[in-house]
Structure formats: structure tokens, C-alpha cells
């Protein structure tokens, strides 16, 4: 019997092709996009100096004001401090949208805050010889109508212009206006002029301007910035003249909702060491949403061809273990702690492995002092150890505002599980204990937004504090900021709360 000769090289090639077809029918899962600055870090501004990157973001009603981060590679960031330890005298709150500028060997920080006398949002300016410390407030630079927010400085030759969002709180349409800055950068001169109006009534703010091949490109954010119902996105318009008129890009938006993130917006650009331009902006993680806030994201800017409209492509930060463990062995207070400055003035002292927390509490504050950190998720487990005994309430808190908080603590010999909702304080459960300190406390959340609290003494097992009904945390998030987790004190100025540890796991 004759056998047909097989061409083994052709047969092998067919086998390889068949294998490729089989392996490419299933698409690989999309790569998860991680933030570069995790947790609530809205409206970021970025600057590069001396081969180092610095970023500053909104702090809203938390103090210290305007957190500053530094990085050597745009991906790995570490907090270095804040712009203001104390609120400038003219301000009452809403510390939003800080913006870096540098010239004449001086760093300028233009920022939004509400004016104390009338609660109108104005733009102030602070200066320093350093990008991450030493800022001194120079007062209000722009007071315009019922709202002036979101400053951005654009240099044009020897002239600098400051742009900002105006109106929106009266009957006139939102628009981006610009003033000429004085040479020292501390005042505006002349009359403002309009760059772009919100004719489509979709929102217009958070602008950043670049020039490319004879065009001025005005990047801006449209839509609702904040909260669970946000629909923010990044758009662009261009003009041959800085003053306009600006042509809207027909294929807007450039950044919008994807599988993992939503409500992208309000960023600024930086030129990296390699020559590429990157956009640092914020977005909500679709899974953790308002419980982790608007997180710091990075996108690469590219131009497909000459005179083409730009493209922004999301970049992923590194996957990091963001758990936190503090033991208070050093006298320096950790830079991550923040508090609600409108409703409390905490006193913090670290010595001999203890953190001592006390301070003044405003008259209408039912929640007490919350010394908190920015969370990276709404699903967490927090623990602390209380080491002193008095009648003040001392423990853990999950804090949205003075009128929206929940916690567990010990007062005298009673453990108390409490919440403040709709400005009403409720004790959810109480339990007397014989051995008072040291007392370990734990707070734990679940995917369904339920909350459970526990206590532990000595070598005992964790014991749950029971309640009549399931406790949820959906009432905690505020419109423009995420709730925060931390240590709690509610007592008189003469008392304090002592802690030997704080740990946060996600």
C-alpha cells in the first residue's frame, strides 16, 4: 500500500495558525487602571521643578488645607505636607482647586475659598520660595460676582494671564474669563475678557490651556462634578488667538466614563523629563465611588498628526498595598491626619508611644472631634487601642460631617455604639465592662454598606456590639468629599483620649 507523503513544514504551519485562532477568540481582560494618587484628591494641579514633580489638590472642609504630594516618576507619590496649616483670615471654607505657577524664583498658589464676610467664592493667592512648604497667603486676587473659582495661569511671552470660571450662581451663563496679571503675580489689571461661554448649558470649569502649532487648546470640564449622580467629562476647544473665539471639538469628550472610572475632570498638564505631556486629573472609582472620593489619575497627551485634535489616554498607577499602621512611637504627627476645621479645633500630642487627642468642639457639633485619614475604599477594617479612663467618649469614628458620623468608643466603664444622622444623635447600643483599659476597638464595613463594630479586652475574642437593626453608612458621604476614618474624642477641654495604635486595612 502506497502512503501519501506529508509536507511536515506545511502541516506544522497549519497547526500554529489553528492554535493562534483558538487563543485569540477569547479577548484578554482589560487592564485595571489604578490611580496615581489614591483617595480623595480632587482638582489637582501639577508642576515639575528640579527633576521632581509636585501635585496639590482640593481639601474642601478638611484641615490642614490643600495637601501636597511629590514624585520622581509621576506614578509613585508621597505626601509631603500642606499649603496652609491654618485657614487664611479672610476665608470660611470650601478650599478648592489650587493652581501652581512659578516665575521670578517664586512659587505661586492660586486657590478658591469662600469669603468669611459673605460666603462668596473668591480666588486668593499664596507665595513661597519652595513648591511644598512655606506658603504665605497674600489675600484675595479675584472677587467677581457671586462666584469666581478654578484659577489657571497661562504665560504668553512676558505677560501672564489668569483665567477662571465665573457666574453660575446667578442668571448669567457660566463662562471662562481671563485677566492680565501684574508682573508680581499678586494683582490683576484692566478689565476681564471672555474666552468661552457655556452656550450649551452643560457646565464649563476646570480649564487648562496649551499652545500647539499656532492653536491655543482650551481643555475644560463639563457636567456635574460631584456626588453619586455626577457626569463630569473632559473636553477641548481651540483658537488661533488666546482671546478666542474658540471652536469646540466635534468629537468631545476626550475623557469619559469607562469600565472602572467615571466623572473624569479638572486637571492640569506637565511636561515630563522625556518630553511627553501628561494630564493629572480626578475621577471616581465606579466600585468605591463617593466613599473613596475623586482620586488622582494620569493621562498621556498625544497628537495623531499635524493640526489634529489631541488625544488623552488613561495611564495606570502602580498596584500598591495601601493599608495603614500607626504606633505613635515618634513625636512627629503623621501628615495624613486631617479634621473638620469648621466644627472642631483638635490638640494632638505624641509621646511615649501614645497619641493624646483633645480640643475644642463647636457648640452645634454633635459628633465631637474626628482625627481622620483619606480612605481608599468604603470597604475597610479599622482598629485602635484606647489606653486611658475618663468620662469623655474615646474611640473610632467614620465621619462625613458634624451632622453625619458613626462610631464606637468608651466613656467611663461603658462602651457606646453611636451615630449622628440628620443632625440627631442616637445611641445604637451600650455595654458596661469591668476591665476598662487597655481596650481594643474595631469598625468593619461590608459590600452592602453595612457597618459592624467590635471590642476586645486582653486575650479575649472580639465581641460584636449588637443592634436592633442593620446599620448602614450610606448617609455619610457629602456632596464634594468622601467620609473619612479615624480616631474620635468627645469631651471637655480638660479631658483627652489616649491611643497606642491605629490600623486601617482594605
- Which positions are annotated as active-site residues? 43, 205
Cross-strand pairs, 70: 54, 78
Question: Is 124:111 a contact under the CB 8 Å cutoff?
Answer: yes
Give Cα separations from 344 to 12, 62, 330, 489 (angstroms). Answer: 75, 11, 25, 10
* Residue closest to 371 by CA, chosen among 291, 475, 495, 485: 485
Residues 439-459 as b/e (b if ≥16 CB within 10 A, e otherwise) read bbbbbbbeeebebbbbbbbee
* Residue closest to 421 by CA, chosen among 408, 407, 433: 407
Rounded Cα distance, 55 and 69, in Å: 5
Rounded Cα distance, 307 and 328, in Å: 56
Q: How many other CB atoms sit within 10 Å of the CB of residue 469?
A: 6
Sign of CA dihedral 476, 478, 479, 484: negative
Rounded Cα distance, 264 and 279, in Å: 11
Q: Which helix (H) or strand (E) holds 313?
A: strand 311-315
Rounded Cα distance, 280 and 265, in Å: 9
Amino acid at each position: 500500500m502506497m502512503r501519501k507523503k506529508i509536507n511536515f513544514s506545511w502541516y506544522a504551519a497549519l497547526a500554529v495558525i489553528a492554535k493562534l485562532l483558538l487563543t485569540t477568540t477569547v479577548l484578554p481582560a482589560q487592564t485595571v487602571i489604578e490611580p496615581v494618587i489614591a483617595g480623595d484628591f480632587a482638582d489637582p494641579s501639577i508642576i515639575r521643578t528640579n527633576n521632581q514633580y509636585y501635585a496639590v489638590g482640593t481639601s474642601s472642609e478638611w484641615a490642614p488645607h490643600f495637601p501636597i504630594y511629590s514624585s520622581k516618576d509621576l506614578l509613585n507619590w508621597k505626601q509631603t505636607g500642606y499649603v496652609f496649616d491654618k485657614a487664611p483670615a479672610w476665608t470660611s471654607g470650601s478650599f478648592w482647586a489650587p493652581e501652581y505657577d512659578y516665575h521670578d524664583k517664586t512659587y505661586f498658589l492660586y486657590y478658591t475659598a469662600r469669603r468669611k464676610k459673605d460666603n462668596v467664592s473668591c480666588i486668593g493667592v499664596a507665595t513661597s520660595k519652595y513648591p511644598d512648604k512655606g506658603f504665605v497667603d497674600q489675600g484675595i486676587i479675584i472677587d467677581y460676582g457671586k462666584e469666581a473659582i478654578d484659577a489657571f495661569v497661562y504665560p504668553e511671552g512676558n505677560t501672564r494671564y489668569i483665567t477662571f470660571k465665573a457666574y453660575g450662581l446667578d442668571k448669567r451663563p457660566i463662562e471662562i474669563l481671563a485677566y492680565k496679571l501684574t508682573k508680581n503675580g499678586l494683582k490683576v489689571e484692566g478689565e476681564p475678557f471672555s474666552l468661552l461661554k457655556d452656550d450649551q448649558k452643560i457646565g464649563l470649569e476646570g480649564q487648562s490651556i496649551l499652545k500647539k502649532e499656532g492653536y491655543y487648546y482650551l481643555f475644560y470640564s463639563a457636567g456635574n462634578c460631584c456626588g453619586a449622580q455626577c457626569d463630569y467629562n473632559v473636553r477641548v476647544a481651540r483658537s488661533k488667538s488666546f482671546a478666542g473665539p474658540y471652536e469646540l471639538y466635534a468629537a468631545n469628550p476626550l475623557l469619559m466614563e469607562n469600565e472602572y472610572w467615571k466623572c473624569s475632570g479638572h486637571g492640569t498638564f506637565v511636561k515630563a523629563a522625556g518630553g511627553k505631556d501628561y494630564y493629572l486629573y480626578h475621577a471616581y472609582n465606579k466600585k468605591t465611588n463617593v466613599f473613596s472620593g475623586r482620586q488622582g489619575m494620569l493621562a498621556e497627551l498625544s497628537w495623531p498628526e499635524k493640526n489634529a485634535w489631541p488625544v488623552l489616554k488613561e495611564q495606570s498607577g502602580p498596584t500598591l498595598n495601601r493599608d495603614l499602621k500607626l504606633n505613635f512611637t515618634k513625636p512627629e504627627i503623621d501628615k495624613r491626619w486631617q479634621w473638620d476645621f469648621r466644627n472642631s479645633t483638635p490638640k494632638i500630642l505624641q509621646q511615649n508611644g501614645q497619641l493624646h487627642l483633645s480640643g475644642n468642639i463647636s457648640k452645634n457639633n454633635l459628633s465631637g472631634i474626628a482625627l481622620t485619614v483619606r480612605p481608599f475604599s468604603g470597604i475597610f477594617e479599622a482598629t485602635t487601642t484606647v489606653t486611658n479612663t475618663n468620662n469623655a467618649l474615646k474611640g473610632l469614628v467614620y465621619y462625613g460631617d458634624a451632622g453625619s458620623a458613626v462610631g464606637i468608643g468608651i466613656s467611663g466603664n461603658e462602651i457606646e455604639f453611636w451615630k449622628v444622622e440628620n443632625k440627631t444623635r442616637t445611641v445604637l447600643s451600650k455595654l458596661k465592662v469591668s476591665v476598662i483599659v487597655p481596650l481594643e476597638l474595631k469598625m468593619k464595613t461590608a459590600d452592602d454598606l453595612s457597618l459592624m463594630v467590635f471590642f476586645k479586652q486582653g486575650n479575649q475574642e472580639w465581641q460584636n456590639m449588637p443592634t436592633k437593626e442593620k446599620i448602614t453608612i450610606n448617609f455619610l458621604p457629602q456632596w464634594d468629599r468622601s467620609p473619612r476614618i479615624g480616631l474620635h474624642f468627645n469631651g471637655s477641654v480638660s479631658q483627652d483620649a489616649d491611643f497606642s495604635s491605629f490600623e486601617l486595612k482594605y
